[in-house]
Chain A
Amino acid sequence: MKLFGSRLSTPALIGIALLVAIVGAGLLAPWIAPYGETDLVGDVWAPPSLAFPLGTDNLGRDMLSRLLFATRTTLTVVILSTIVAFALGVAIGFLSALIGGLIDQLISALVNVIMAVPVLIVALMVLAVLGTSVPVLILTMGILEATRVYRLARAVANGLIVQEFVRIAALRGEGWRWIVWREILPNAVPALVAEFGLRFCFIFLFVASLSFLGLGVQPPFADWGAMVHDNTAAINLGGLAPFYPAAAIAVTTIAVNLIVDWLLSVHARPAGIKE
């Protein structure tokens, strides 16, 4: 099987299969889930049975159904946050490197100030003030994570700007758009792809921890992080309830990284060399 003209490795195929299954389960949730997202259908923390394949949660809702519905909210929030983080971080990082001088210093100083405060504390403050709606959640996490992406994008662009082919483009009189889109971006892709995989996982865990703290996706809607939070007490009773959403988080991050590893192995090869 081929993708972008390169053969897929076995781990990449596994990653893609997992991700397709997870996204598919999320999309088809209303049809394949045995019960509704918020329906109280059984006892509290009922063990797995034929009626409830994964048992029930702390309020007696079906675990499998909630897990399926949670896929939608969790993935939407995480993917949108990652996109916001990359759009902002790469754009500002590249421009900062390209303009240089005082503006670069100012932007970098501002980013450092934001980074100096632990993200969780900033997020807690912002969400406490602005309320915990989904758009606010996405923007907050996107902006906070963009600071990390900015640092990488700026460093990569700084390394590329001094390359002679970029100087030649500048000497030709090319505008910044051409230089960013055609000269710098294609050569920055490997580093950015690697960062995307990492950042995706960090944001995933970030959403989970915010939900765990009660500031993420709000009840009664399901979210994997919040589900871990809601069901933690089951650990004391020997129940498996918090394990399922935690496993979902783990499997998704692993699947994404399997694909990213493959993308990297393709892009890290010197341009023009085929296997």
Chain B
Amino acid sequence: MHDHPLLDIENLVVTATSGTRLVDSVSLKLERGSVLGLIGESGAGKSTIALAALAYSRPGCHITGGTIRHGGVDLMELDEDARRAYRGARIAYVAQSAAAAFNPALTLMDQICEGPVRHGLASRKDAEAHAVELFTALDLPDPARFGRRYPHQVSGGQLQRAMVAMAMSCRPDILVLDEPTTALDVTTQIEVLVLLRRLIRDQQVAALYVTHDLAVVAQIADRIMVLRHGKLVEEGATADVLLRPTTDYARALVAERTAARSAAFEVEDKRPETVLVLDHVDVSYGPKKAVSGVSFSLSRGETVAVIGESGSGKSTIAYSIAGLVSASGGEIQFDGGDLPPGHRERDRDTLRRIQLVYQLPDVALNPRQSIGEIIGRPLTFYFGLRGEARSARVGELLSLVGLPVEFAQRLPGQLSGGQKQRVCIARALAAEPDVVICDEVTSALDPLVAEEILKLLHRLQAELGLAYLFITHDLGIVRRIGHRVVVLANGKMVADGTTAEIFAQTDHPYIGKLIASVPELDTGWLDRHLQERTAS
């Protein structure tokens, strides 16, 4: 057995029922104790390859070619029962969303012990003892009793770790990690990354690590495979791919991450004409105060970024300005006049001048209206445009956001995520607003697509003099497009200043932690970060 690599996939082909090749002859080898990173945008086939390592394909897909050898045994030649003996026991899978992967009606212990007991590898008692060891290894609170909790009783980061414990419960040789930290906050992501890396080293397992974030994979993988449209683009040792990418696509990916580390354009701090002023704004949901005493201002042609961890109240601020939730205290002034708290009390022109672009373009567009209707409605509603004039203006707006004019005929379901977000922006622009509130507009998009959207927003600001309120948790974005930054923590304002000022405050406990938690495109970053943390 020692002659064979632990996992040896050769010329893997996965085909969808429609006939499209999702994965086109990809080969990979994995040795004990090593981590291979699979990188690519959505649709690149990286998750499909990860699942194929378990000789499994999603409904509607079929593994149509290639061999998947596990210690010399080709899983594709085994029948379904024999394959099942491998899954979970020898090769374990960790899904992206732990919250969706756990059964909410069973305790964590029940679900973690299920694998070893069902595979006949251990008695329930031994499985529980092993689970407690894993909880300890994964730094979970009160390991002896942690398993008695239900999935909703633990935090997102803890649940993701419990999922790793579940995968490790059968002592597998290979871990398949499918975006295990993508759904987590930057600060939580580090905890999980550190523990994962330690676990992989201690238990001497091999791992496939799927992610779209180069900086994350840099911390954990020994080798990287860059994938695009189901094909291998580039493969090499992590440091080589990051420092000396040889293909254009890999170079673009690396450049996108590097750009996030440095301001891409000159940030001028002129503040010509203030349009929006928040003065000690409080917002409460029932008796609970979500946001209290937030004050800042926004000028024409300026971008103010509101940053903070999830739950810090940054979206609540956006909604109170848009009028979706009513501020319970303080004042919001818009263009010199008071802004009524609820959108129902605002007149049509005020509504027109403040536009909101949501995080998820999929749910922000009515699936049963054509793009032309979606963008055309504000034109009719605010400016009374109809017929020819309206279609002409819809065409202009589509070109403005870089989409072909023919898209007016399509339905949202026929567009990609990035295209849908452009439609959302075009709809906001149709109203000819003064202020555009962008609520995490790029976080649901692939890095290169997000980069295009940011460039578009920046160009539109220069052309139309728009003021942006940018809600985000991504500090890379803030550096690139923010003129000023407002930092929130637990509903309170922690700091407010120009982007340069805020990023200089590395000694501030909260801001420092936020900045330091953003992974850098450097294989040694996690180790340095840990040293700094223990030192301080």
- A interface residues, Cβ below 8 angstroms from B: 163-174, 182-183, 186-187, 270-273
Contact status A272-B381, CB under 8 Å? no
Given the contacts A163-B363, A165-B366, A272-B367, A170 and B343 also touching, CB distance less than 8 Å: yes
The answer on a CB contact under 8 Å between A186 and B381 is no
Which residues of A sit under 8 angstroms from B352, Cβ to Cβ?
172-173
> What is the CB-to-nearest-CB distance from B420 to chain A, in angstroms, rounded to a whole number?
11
B386 within 8 Å of A (CB atoms) = no
| Nearest CB of B to A107, in Å | 21
Asked if B323 is at the interface (CB within 8 A of a chain A CB), the reply is yes
Complex contact B324–A183 (CB within 8 A): no
**Contact yes or no, A164 B413, CB < 8 A:** no
Question: Smallest Cβ distance from B334 to chain A, in angstroms?
Answer: 14
For the complex, count residues of B whose C-beta is within 8 A of A.
Answer: 29
Which of B343, B352, B410 is most buried by chain A, counting CB atoms within 10 A of its CB?
B343
Contact of A171 among B356, B366, B410 (CB under 8 A): B356
Assembled-state Cα–Cα distance A165/B346 (Å): 19
Cβ–Cβ contact A168 & B356, under 8 A: yes
Is the CB–CB distance between A187 and B366 below 8 Å?
Answer: yes
Inside 8 A of A186's CB, which chain B residues have their CB? Answer: 366, 368-369
Closest to A165 in B: B366
Q: Does B351 contact A (CB under 8 A)?
A: yes
Supposing A168-B356, A171-B356, A172-B351 touch, asked if A271 and B322 sit within 8 A by C-beta, the answer is no
A165 touches B364 (CB 8 A): yes
Name 8 interchain pairs, CB-CB below 8 A, sorted by A.
Answer: A172-B381, A173-B343, A173-B346, A173-B351, A173-B352, A271-B367, A271-B411, A271-B413
Complex Cα distance, B197 from A210, in Å, reads 72
- Please give, as numbers and ranges, the residues of chain B lying within 8 Å of A165 by CB-CB distance: 363-366
- The 3 A-B residue pairs whose C-beta atoms are closest, nearest first, are A272-B413, A272-B411, A186-B368
Q: Is the Cβ of A164 less than 8 Å from the Cβ of B348?
A: no
Does B410 contact A272, Cβ atoms closer than 8 Å?
Answer: yes
Which residue of A has the minimal Cβ distance to B351? Answer: A173
Chain B residues with CB under 8 Å of A164's CB are: 358, 360, 363-364
Across the interface, name the chain A residue whose C-beta is closest to B428.
A168
Q: Report chain A residues within 8 Å CB of B378.
A: 172
Contacts of A182 in B (CB 8 A): 366, 369
Residues of B within 8 A of A174 (CB): 381
Residue B491 interfacial (CB < 8 Å): no
B412 within 8 A of A: yes
CB <8 Å contact, B322 and A171: yes
Contact across chains for A187 and B351 when beta carbons are under 8 A apart:
no
Assess whether B487 is interfacial by the CB under 8 Å rule: no
Bound complex: CA A11 to CA B462 (Å): 59
CB–CB A171/B323 < 8 A: yes
CA of A171 to CA of B378, assembled, Å: 11
**A164-B360, A171-B351, A171-B356 known; A270+B324 contact, CB < 8 A:** no
A166 vs B377: C-alpha distance when bound (angstroms): 13
Query: With an 8 A cutoff between CB atoms, is B431 at the interface?
Result: yes
Q: With A and B bound together, what is the CA distance between A166 and B356 in angstroms?
A: 13
Interface residues of B in 343-380 (CB under 8 A from A): 343, 346, 348, 351-352, 356, 358, 360, 363-369, 377-378
One of B324, B368, B431 near A172 (C-beta < 8 A): B431
Whether B367 contacts A270 by the Cβ 8 Å rule is yes
Q: What is the CB-to-nearest-CB distance from A85 to chain B, in angstroms, rounded to a whole number?
A: 24
What 0/1 pattern do residues 85 to 113 of B give for CB contact below 8 A with A? Answer: 00000000000000000000000000000
Cα distance A63–B82 when bound, in Å?
65
Distance in Å from the Cβ of B445 to the closest Cβ of chain A?
A: 16
Q: Are A171 and B381 interface neighbours, CB within 8 A?
A: no
A112 to B412, CA, bound (A): 38
Interface residue B414 (Cβ < 8 Å from any Cβ of A): yes
Q: Which B301-351 residues have C-beta < 8 A from chain A?
A: 322-324, 343, 346, 348, 351
Enumerate chain B residues within 8 angstroms of A167, measured Cβ to Cβ: 324
Cα distance, A164 to B411, chains bound together (Å): 17
Q: Indicate the member of A168, A182, A271 with the most B CB atoms within 10 Å.
A: A168
Q: In the bound complex, do residue A183 and residue B351 qualify as a contact, i.e. CB atoms below 8 Å apart?
A: no
B residues near A166, Cβ cutoff 8 Å: 366
Chain B residues lying within 8 Å of A272, measured Cβ to Cβ, are 367, 410-414
Complex interface: chain A residues within 8 A of B431 (CB): 172
Q: Check A168 against B364 for contact (C-beta < 8 Å).
A: yes
Quick one: closest A residue to B439, CB to CB? A164
Within 8 Å CB of B411, what residues of A?
A: 271-272
Contact with A along B144-173 (1 / 0, CB 8 A): 000000000000000000000000000000
Decide if A270 touches B413 in the complex (CB within 8 Å): yes
CB distance from B316 to the nearest CB of A (A): 14
CB distance from B65 to the nearest CB of A (A): 28
Query: Is there contact, CB below 8 Å, between B360 and A187?
Result: no
